[in-house]
């Protein structure tokens, strides 16, 4: 199965992508996670992306398209994939289309997760992340308090720099103006399915599983 997920930051697509990757035994490819790792490793990709990400801006299309091509051409994606966070612009979607043609890949479904801006801001306010392994914690749902370490790897738990309120508002605006137009792009191709992102993880998962059964 070849899946593309998109939706505003904080709608829960990363959480669902991780679960679906276990259900369908296909890799979860999060471009945000790849970039955060690259920044941690201080490799050339990380050095290029760092400033954009800290400000809540998108990393330039040419960097992201090159990255996506390398990933799709690798063994990792030979049995399918879930793309989470790529494409994020119509230019990226068009370039991805050309890569799919070149590599003989067919996308099964493009899923757009929807949530209101007010709910997104509240979720991101409560979202914390392990700086070592990337595990996501939700204040109010997961039991942790200031100073606790990640129960999985012992790393430091902190808010993502780009989840701070001002940056969130900017990311949301970029999403509405630059990423949301992809809905038309994929809708015209008959690939788009919208999913309601309200409710808890299990509610949303059930909606995904129903959508993917059809
Ligand atoms: P995410 O974890 O998906 O919210 O991504 C975090 C940040 O990584 C974004 O705000 C962008 O700065 C950058 N990023 C991730 N994927 C892309 C993409 N496809 N195009 C441009 N920038 C991206």
Given this model, what pLDDT does residue 141 score? 82
Spell out, as residue ranges, where the chain has pLDDT lower than 70. Answer: none
- Report how far residue 173's alpha carbon sits from residue 55's, in angstroms, rounded to the nearest whole number: 13
**Residue 160 in domain:** no
Q: How many domains does the chain have?
A: 1
The reply to whether 156 falls in a domain is no
Name the residue with the closest Cα to ligand 1, atom 19.
86
Overall pTM > 0.75:
yes
Q: Is 58 in the pocket of ligand 1 (CB under 6 A)?
A: yes
**175-196 confidence digits (pLDDT tens):** 999 999 999 999 999 999 999 9
CATH number assigned to the domain comprising residue 101 = 3.40.50.300
Give the catalytic positions in this structure: 13, 88, 127, 160, 171
- Predicted confidence at residue 165, as pLDDT, reads 86
Backbone φ and ψ of 136, nearest 5°? -95, 135
For the chain, give the DSSP string: -EEEEEESTTSSHHHHHHHHHHHHT--EEEHHHHHHHHHHHT-HHHHHHHHHHHHTPPPPHHHHHHHHHHHHTSGGGTT-EEEES---SHHHHHHHHHHHHHHT----EEEEEE--HHHHHHHHHTEEEETTT--EEEBTTB---TTPBPTTT-PBEE--GGGSHHHHHHHHHHIIIIITTHHHHHHHTT-EEEEE--S-HHHHHHHHHHHHH-
In a domain, 106, yes or no: yes
pLDDT of residue 142: 85
Residue 175 within any structural domain of the chain: no
Does residue 159 sit within a domain?
A: no
Asked, for residue 24, whether it belongs to a domain, the answer is yes
52 pocket-lining for ligand 1 (C-beta < 6 Å)? yes
pLDDT for res 51: 95
Q: Which domain holds residue 53?
A: 2-115+180-213
Residue 164 lies in a domain: no
Query: Does any domain span residue 188?
Result: yes
The side-by-side arrangement of strands in the sheet containing 81-84 is 28-30, 81-84, 2-7, 109-114, 192-196
Pocket test for ligand 1, best of 40, 59, 135 (most atoms within 8 A of CB): 59
The predicted pLDDT at position 146 comes to 82
What pLDDT, on the 0 to 100 scale, is given for residue 35?
96
């Amino acid at each position: 199965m070849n899946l593309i997920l998109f939706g505003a930051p904080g709608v829960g697509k990363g959480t669902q992508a991780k679960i679906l990757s276990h259900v369908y035994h296909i890799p979860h490819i999060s471009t945000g996670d790849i970039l955060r790792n690259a920044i941690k490793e201080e490799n050339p990709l990380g050095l290029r992306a760092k400033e954009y990400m800290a400000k809540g801006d998108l990393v330039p299309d040419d960097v992201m398209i090159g990255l996506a091509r390398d990933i799709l051409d690798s063994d990792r994606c030979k049995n399918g994939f879930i793309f989470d966070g790529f494409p994020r612009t119509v230019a990226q979607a068009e370039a991805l289309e050309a890569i799919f043609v070149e590599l003989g890949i067919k996308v099964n479904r493009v899923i757009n997760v929807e949530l209101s801006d007010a709910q997104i801001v509240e979720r991101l306010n409560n979202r914390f992340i392990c700086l070592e392994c990337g595990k996501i914690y939700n204040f109010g749902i997961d039991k942790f308090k200031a100073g606790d370490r990640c129960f999985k790897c012992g790393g430091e738990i902190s808010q993502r720099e780009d989840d701070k309120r001002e940056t969130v508002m900017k990311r949301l605006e970029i999403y509405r103006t630059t990423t949301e137009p992809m809905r038309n792009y994929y809708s015209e191709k008959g690939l788009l399915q919208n999913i309601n992102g309200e409710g808890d993880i299990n509610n949303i998962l059930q909606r995904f599983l129903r959508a993917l059964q059809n």
